[in-house]
Amino acid sequence: MTPAPDQPFRALTGMRDVLAPESARRRALVARFAATVELAGYREVQPPLVEELGVFLRMGEATDVVTKEMYDFEDRDGTRVALRPELTAGVVRAFVQHHPTTPWKVWYSGTNFRHERPQRGRYRSFEQVGVEVLGVDDPDLDVEVIALAWASFAAIGLRQVRLLVNSLGEHEDRDRYNEAVRDHFLARRSELGEASLATLKRNPLRLLDSKRPEDAGAVAAAPRIEDFLSPAAAAHFERVQDGLRALEVPFEVAPRLVRGLDYYRRTTFEFVADALDAAQNAIGGGGRYDGLAEDLGGSPTDGIGFALGVDRMLLACDAEAVFPAQDEGVDVFVVDLTGGAAARDLTHELRSAGVAADRRFGGGSMKSQMKSADRSGARFALLVGEDELAAGQVTVRDLRGDAPQSGVARDEVVAEIHRRLGT
Ligand code: AMP
């Protein structure tokens, strides 16, 4: 046996325990999200947490997520695997593997892992909800997908959210634009810092969202994507904007929005929570990724999706004072002064009838058991003392209202509680 540690174990840096009532709030957020997207015909998909490393390398070997942040390791059988840093690649891998009929409209929720430098709103283990649609090349789908993300913010009461949209053009448009951006920054490389020069080498488009003050001049003067869009890409983007206007989803066109992952083409979008500081105000984003299914070994398939950061959505809820955590507690707490058998049986009966019920273990005085009852958040305490036991009764005490306590026949107590709870 390894000896006990000098200090108690703690969760790893950048990873957190989610305790009640926050855990219930997360579950409620996912439930609202699911309800929103299932109204539009999306069904849940649950890909594994771990995939072959190659699945994620398709996200682009020039991205930080892939080069610096992946939890990758050798499996016991020698396979190179990684904990998922996002869900899109795994979902598309599942699409390629199972050949579902298209359009394949799916939603997901789950934990991702990135070895980032932790700070508020940026963790090494974080949760996302999102959707993906495979097999449709229609700008009206882009509108549907973006409108669903918008509706899921509304579903939890978030209001201070801004939608930024852009088009990266077709594959060739993006390549030509990439070249032009590289040439532009190469010509002005004396202005760039060392980190930016490294980015320029790996992924010139990423420089467009550089926040470094010394880059600002070169970024402002950079070529603009709209000058590189093919007529088809421009028409697609027009139709997306028309659709957003028709659905009254407010947006801003953001010509420098390129997003981190390499596989995006045409429509890209991002949601910014204005109630949060700039460091963590990106609460979600997505776009079209035509080409990813092919990269994963499938036939060419159009795809589009988004991922929203659950941790950050909840931070935004805190900042806007909406969607608060609610500690629900139980409905009923049984106080047993006769040895515990009554509490054992009564809680079981109540739970079987769908009433949330709890009790104290190990006995204790009336006073200490009533304290536990108060702490439990229960509406009613059910008291069983020697007198009640002898009379075949239970005393019902209202812990929130001021109704006088009353005796109820033991056989009728479950029905009586249902009546009082209105269930
Ligand atoms: P991405 O997959 O990088 O496009 O991220 C989509 C969303 O997930 C972001 O807008 C964030 O809200 C959230 N997110 C990404 N990385 C993290 C992280 N390390 N910690 C918390 N949330 C994150």
Domains of the chain: 22-170+230-320 (3.30.930.10), 332-421 (3.40.50.800)
Atom of ligand 1 nearest to the CA of 130: 6
Give residue-wise pLDDT tens across range 102-148.
Answer: 999 999 999 999 999 999 999 999 999 999 999 999 999 999 999 99
Strand-strand pairing, 380-384 and 393-398: antiparallel
Give residue-wise pLDDT tens across range 189-203.
Answer: 898 888 888 888 888
| Ligand 1 mutation target, pool 84, 162, 312, 317, most atoms within 8 A of CB | 312
pLDDT at 328: 80
Confidence band for 281, pLDDT divided at 50, 70 and 90: very high
- Given a cut of 70, whether residue 278 has pLDDT beyond it is yes
Mean pLDDT of the chain: 94
Give residue-wise pLDDT tens across range 16-25.
Answer: 999 999 999 9
Query: pTM of the prediction?
Result: 0.92
Give every CB contact of residue 91 below 8 A, 6+ residues apart in sequence: 45, 47, 106, 108, 132, 305
Confidence band for 370, pLDDT divided at 50, 70 and 90: very high
Atom of ligand 1 nearest to the CA of 86: 2
- Given a cut of 70, whether residue 406 has pLDDT beyond it is yes
- Given a cut of 80, whether residue 263 has pLDDT beyond it is no
pLDDT at 309: 98
Report the pLDDT averaged over residues 319-347: 95
Ligand 1 pocket, residue 83 CB under 6 Å? no
Ligand 1 pocket, residue 126 CB under 6 Å? yes
Ligand 1 pocket, residue 84 CB under 6 Å? no
Atom of ligand 1 nearest to the CA of 121: 21
Give residue-wise pLDDT tens across range 59-94.
Answer: 776 677 777 899 999 999 999 999 999 999 999 999
Q: How many whole angstroms from 285 Cα to the centroid of ligand 1?
A: 8
Ligand 1 pocket, residue 312 CB under 6 Å? yes
Give the closest residue (by CA) to ligand 1 atom 21. 122
- Given a cut of 90, whether residue 395 has pLDDT beyond it is yes
Confidence band for 327, pLDDT divided at 50, 70 and 90: confident
- Given a cut of 70, whether residue 262 has pLDDT beyond it is no
Reduced 3-state DSSP string for the chain: CCCCCCCCCCCCCCCCCCCCCHHHHHHHHHHHHHHHHHCCCCEECCCCCEEEHHHHHCCCCCCHHHHCCCCEEECCCCCEEEECCCCHHHHHHHHHHHCCCCCEEEEEEEEEECCCCCECCECCEEEEEEEEEECCCCHHHHHHHHHHHHHHHHHCCCCCEEEEEEECCCHHHHHHHHHHHHHHHHHCHHHCCHHHHHHHHHCHHHHHHCCCHHHHHHHHCCCCHHHHCCHHHHHHHHHHHHHHHHCCCCCEECCCCCCCCCCCEEEEEEEEECCCCHHHCEEEEEEECCCHHHHCCCCCCCEEEEEEEHHHHHHHHHHHCCCCCCCCCCCEEEEECCCCHHHHHHHHHHHHCCCCEEECCCCCCHHHHHHHHHHCCCCEEEEECHHHHHHCEEEEEECCCCCCCEEEEHHHHHHHHHHHHCC
Ligand 1 pocket, residue 15 CB under 6 Å? no
Higher local confidence (pLDDT), 217 or 358: 358
Confidence band for 362, pLDDT divided at 50, 70 and 90: very high
pLDDT at 403: 84
Report the pLDDT averaged over residues 296-302: 95
pLDDT at 128: 98
- Given a cut of 90, whether residue 258 has pLDDT beyond it is no
- Given a cut of 70, whether residue 401 has pLDDT beyond it is yes
